[in-house]
Amino acid sequence: MRQNSQQAKAGIFRALHERDETFVMPNAWNAGSACLLEDAGFSAIGTTSAGIAFCLGLPDYRGALGRDAAFEETKRIANAVSLPVSSDTENGYGHEPDEVAATITALGPTGVVGASIEDYGYGYESGDQYPLELSVERIKAARAAADALDFDLTLTARAECYLRRHPDPLKESIKRANAYREAGADCLYVPGVNDIATIKTLVDEIDGPINVVMGLAGKPLTVTQLEDAGVRRISIGGSLARTTFGTIRRVADEIRHEGTFTYAKDQIPDAELGRFFRERLERTDD
């Protein structure tokens, strides 16, 4: 089975955003996790910069994960599956619009068909979100670079108002998201919101498809609730990667302090995993 071409994946991914249905896009941090998520039946996969950083022994949100290292893992993920993959591209690995444009250009050869750009970057002189005017210019630059690629990249713009504790996060998120939409963003993403009333307001007031992230702390919402609210795309960020690390910590604690190995009952048998990945390779080679 030959994998879909990048152009074909791009068309599939854009269509998911244009139809009136909600889809879940879980986030992978390496090729193996991406393969298991594809096998579960999802229609698209995102990457998680946090998950990639953690698996490389690096912190998140500190600029420790460089673009080259992130894109190396991103390419492995995109090439391991036949699904569309969207890249968590952090702040575009640069503050200035031309740096963001260069990142989108460099992202093209990895095989992904989507990218998200944050409007906050660690180390920026104000220590806060980029000013709105600069943020808009950054999205315009990303759009222009995306349009120069040989496939139709779906661009997601993030408004980090809730995560950055803006004094009026709802109003500012709506203003920024709509400005990013006008600047060329295809999907809008306001992370840090987990109450349904606020999500409904964002859907009603923002002119474009909305992504909501689940798996964060707080009262969990269901896919049905988010679909009823009009959310187009649901991601899970680094929560699955963090859950995996949580399992490692619990297992280590059990072995070290209890001297038992009860965790083994939850593992996928070696033979089953070996067969799963072997069959994937054989289908790809056909």
Of 122, 29, 121, 145, give the one whose Cα is nearest residue 80. 29
The more confidently predicted of residues 217 and 77 is 77
Neighbours of 84 (CB within 10 A): 27
pTM of the model: 0.95
Fold of 6-240: TIM Barrel (3.20.20)
pLDDT average, residue stretch 39-67? 94
Cα separation, 194 vs 80, whole angstroms:
32
pLDDT tens for residues 191-225? 999 899 999 999 999 999 999 999 987 778 999 99
CA distance 39 to 278: 13
